[in-house]
Structure 1
Amino acid sequence: MFRFHESRFFENWFGAYAILGAIASGLIPILIPLWTQQHSSAANVGIVMSLFGLGQLSAPLWGEIADTLRLNRVLFLMGLFIIGLSLLSITFIPLPSILGFFSLMAGLGFSLTNTFANLWIVERFSYAEVTERVGTLQKVYGIGQVVGLAIASLLSATHIKIALIVTSLMAFSSLIFYKTMPTISRDGKIKLRPALEKLHPRIQPLLASISQSYHLLHIKTLLPHLSKTALSTLTFNILWFIIVAASSFFFSFYPIIMKYVYKISPSISSIIFSVAVGLSIFIYSLVGRIAEERGDKKVLLLGIFLRLISILGLTILGYFVVSARMFLVALFFVLIIFSWPIISVSGTAIASESNLPQGAAMGLFSANNALALSIGSFIGGFIAHVKSYNFLLASSAILMFIGLLLSVILIKEE
């Protein structure tokens, strides 16, 4: 049994969740686009990353299975093992159809493990403790992401195949945490899961939707509420879809754009990503306090504005060669990463404040996020294939500007 030093809100099985963060938000966003690009086209890069996001929409299914079977440890590890086997298949059979299918399977595996990780906290502790424990879990995930990006920087430049094999072995290594994982007794009762409307996320990676994914989204009960919901709720969900899709235009192709547009190697771009994410973890709690004082909608507007300026800067640098371009690219990218805590903290709070029932509101928010990632990656791949990666960046800036306008409208609707 593998053990860490225990604290009040930390549990040893969080180590397995850190492995998930390293793989899903650190290694996959770097390795899969590069590997797919080596064996296929830009359009297929978009399809493969789209299918990874699509797999995350299975969270409600795993929630239902959790309520029925209670095979807690087995299903948690099964998700990581599915990711490991999928990556091995992609490594040794890099055909376009295989890449797409097993990317979808990896997304399903991520959703399975992630759902159980959140359920283990929500169903075992009181509401007073859940917020801090989920926050600690998210921080551990973020640390894992930073480590994953660091590993990618070491291996992605010339040894992508080896890096994929190492990533697979990391997924299988989660077995060492098996005995530290909790179990939930099967007593026939399904515990009501809190909405956690006061929770400000400590880490919310863009390419892996972890926000409130344990809220089950029931379409039959959601549709009647949507027909009666406030205009501001609909405006926010449209806004959120647009800005996440716009962001996926860049992040789903990040290592490729950095390599071919700015001539920055995957090793360097991974290090930049790792440092930026590591620093951004400290912004979440600060943004939470500011949002409570200034208002979530105004903070969201600020976050979208910062991201728009950053993407515009990258777009201009893609068309014009200037002195110190690498430094400016790194600076704008760091600003993009720093804008995400501002956007995700305020966005999560706004989603929970809608007039929908809390479970439905947060379930819709998670599904909307995952769907935007998937559709954005899919469309982005075809834009890059038909036009160019420079044009893809410009398209991202246009969508982000539309999101900014909708954010202004959202404030005026108050």
Structure 2
Amino acid sequence: MPFPNMDSVESILAIVVVFGALVFVHELGHFLLAKRAGILCREFALGMGPKIFRVKRGETEYTLRLLPIGGMVRMAGEDPEMEMLKPHMEVSLERDALGKVTHFLLDGPGNASARAITGTVVRFDLEKDLYIVLDVGGEERQFSVHPQAQLVKDGQEVQIAPLNRQFKGKTISQRFWAIFAGPFANFLLAFVLFIAIGLLYGVPKDIPYLGEVRANGPAAQAGLMQGDKIISIQGQPVSSWKEIVQIISQSPGKEMQFEYERNGQRNTVLVKVGKDENNVGKIMVTNPLTYAPGEVLKYGATSTYEFTAMILKSLGMLFTGSVGLNDLSGPVGIFKMTGEFAQQGMAILMKWAAVLSINLGLINLLPLPALDGGRLAFIAVEALRGRPVDPHKEGMVHFLGFAFLMLLILVVTWNDLQRLFFQ
């Protein structure tokens, strides 16, 4: 299959918008629930790799990274930033009007103000009691530390994170929701997208009425019109749109008698059923649509549920071996399909984005290391055993899981490239 016209601005823009929205919403879910729990969020990033744009607002740095895949919310306690301050290190302290340390100048006294105090670190606690003891001219002096104090090195500031601002310092419930909120946001996005589709393009109704009757199609040539109620086909009563589709699709090329009702009067007409390239019967009509708010909400919920069930079934087939790695698509294949759907219209692209969002949410909930589901699994183990798993062991498991995921992405990307260039 030839690659879609990826030179078109529309296709490229669609890919950027769709994937940017999916990642943004996922990370926004993590971010909002983490902030609600009082966790210090150091960075909100879209993309991976080197930073190409950054802006600091409040406690959080918002960044755009070079590689347009993934994103992250970097929460306090996940990095060894406290190792920047060590015993026997010479530092300068700047304090506020109440005498609390607001800045630790780790490059020495060169950039310190005249009021700064310089000494050698004896001991400190920046997580619980918030103090530091310096040897100043042979005398030990203790200083209280402001809970939002900054560690300054090479011109960069890093805010300290007391234990009550760290991820690990929060309750099991707070940590669970901060992690679960990412995948949940993707399900919510899919629900909203399906609702938007319903409001903009209507919701299909399973009633025996004709929607749009395409010009010069079999139905139009026979005289059928939009809004006609189909009573029977070939003497077989019908009461739903699904029944109409089933009868017509199984009758390609046949001439069939339709009984219909229009303006309270019943009539009959002969329709010569056409067919498509798969020899499926068609009469070139669409099903009726509704824009009623209740029906639109129902459509959003049922569509989200149905696609979730379908993707879960597909994942089950992967784990049982019914589907192999060669059948999977990676980023290249998904980009390709997104470009194709963008050419088919906004409604198709929005539905595809909703399906991708559900897929992202489900994949992240799998209990695999490095994914949100893996982190939730460790939280569940902690809840059961009454104490957390050793952080070093958990970190190693996530590292190995991440390496495996990167290998899997490479494999499926190779599959995509082979299908793209050699088939």
Structure with the larger strand share: 2
Q: Which structure's relative contact order is higher, taking Cα pairs within 8 Å and 6+ residues apart? A: 1
Tell me which structure has the larger Cα radius of gyration.
Answer: 2
Q: TM-score, normalised by structure 2?
A: 0.27
